[in-house]
Amino acid sequence: MNDLTDPVLLTIAGCEVGFWVLVAGGLSLRYLVRAQRLSTLVLAAVPGLDVALLAAVALDLHSGGDVGLAHRLAPIYLGVTVVFGPRLIRWADVRFAHRYADGPAPVPVPKRGPVRLRHEWAEFGRWLAAAAIAGAVVLVLGFTVADAGQRDELFSLFKTLGVITAIWLLTGPVWYAGSARGASSG
């Protein structure tokens, strides 16, 4: 099957588009229409996209689908949206409030210093939580709906999670810790 027509990959793309449509719609309702309750309901629908993605992956595996890139990407996407999604919504909310409701201006993260380093460690911690969720999803799918061959293919995701974690650690907190030491000694 062509990856561009893979139903799981299309579901991931649909979930991403749906996420931003719900966020933009919910915040527009909140700040432009002043419909607080309706805004809250729209934003509360965001986790439904994660459920839809999980169901699409499980259904595809259960029906004997070959494990491809999309099946390994879906748990990562799911973990990232569960952990980083609320933060992205807050990020957008601050900007909407500033632009349309005279809210305070967004406060940028400094490019250097201890605040930046704490930020990098916090983001890395969030990634670890997202990776743990992705791993748990893979285990659940692997032992509930996947056959033995699919399970082996799914479990190859653990290596990918390890590589992403190492890269994130080195290019995030370790990088900023090193640059902070270099800046303070210079």
Task: Count structural domains, the chain.
Answer: 1
Range of 26's domain? 3-185
**Tokens 């499980």, located at residue:** 58
**Tokens 């807050």, located at residue:** 90
Q: Per-residue pLDDT tens for 71-125?
A: 999 999 999 999 999 999 999 999 999 999 999 999 999 998 999 999 999 999 9
Q: Per-residue pLDDT tens for 140-165?
A: 999 999 999 999 999 999 999 999 99
**Tokens 């309702």, located at residue:** 29
- Which pLDDT does position 180 carry in this prediction? 63
pLDDT grade, residue 127 (50/70/90)?
very high
Q: pTM value?
A: 0.89
- Which pLDDT does position 184 carry in this prediction? 57
CA angle 152, 158, 159 (to 5 degrees): 100
**Tokens 């190492």, located at residue:** 166
